[in-house]
Amino acid sequence: MSSQNIEIEFKNMLTKDEYRKLINTFELEESAKKSQENHYFDTKDFLLKSKGCALRIRHKHGSYEMTLKQPYEENLLETNQQLTTAEAEEMIRTGRLLNGKIKKYIEEMNIHPSHLIYFGSLKTDRIEISYKDGILVFDHSFYLNQEDYELEYEVNDRKKGAEIFKELLDNLNIPVRKTENKIKRFYDARYQ
């Protein structure tokens, strides 16, 4: 079974001190952190990336979900497909894509699914809270002997969300930084 949704989110990289400041400002507890791991796939010549797309399997709360992200207007269209543990482990081991909408969409991009390979994983400790008609996400990620900190704001209204996110950063004296998505940061680190 698969589902689709439009992803509207704002991101900003943080320093370790800014991250701690946010955790303290919102009075968040360590126990609120939930771990998840993203496993990334593309072709060896990055055909998905070249089309602005990303393919991952996310493991969290004991379950696996495969997600294809594709550009859609000024947002991203996410197509999700639930996987069993065995299916996820097989795909991570072999790169072989399961039948379903995601495989169909990849084929429609003229990418042969057999050319997909597994690139590696990124682990994130995440805290999510409701904040002004959206979800504020505090991420601490670990990958390829690196770690980084990021603030995300997931919303349904792009214009209103942009204003709220900028106001939050301004109020906390956190500069706006160009922030690549996790898969781009992972690939950049892997191929430096």
Each domain of the chain, given as residue ranges in start order, spans 2-190
Q: Could you read off the pLDDT of 97-141 as tens digits, one per residue?
A: 989 999 999 999 999 999 999 999 999 999 999 999 999 999 999
Q: Report the C-alpha gap between 74 and 72 in whole angstroms.
A: 6
Q: Could you read off the pLDDT of 24-46 as tens digits, one per residue?
A: 999 999 889 999 999 999 999 99
Q: Report the C-alpha gap between 125 and 146 in whole angstroms.
A: 14
Residue 157: per-residue pLDDT: 93
- Identify the band that residue 90 occupies on the pLDDT scale cut at 50, 70 and 90: very high
State whether CATH 2.40.320.10 applies to domain 2-190.
yes
Residue 1: per-residue pLDDT: 60
pLDDT higher than 90, residue 155: yes
Q: What are phi and psi of 56, to 5 degrees?
A: -145, 160
Q: What is the pTM of this model?
A: 0.89
Q: Which residues contact residue 112 at a Cβ distance below 8 angstroms, ignoring those fewer than 6 apart?
A: none
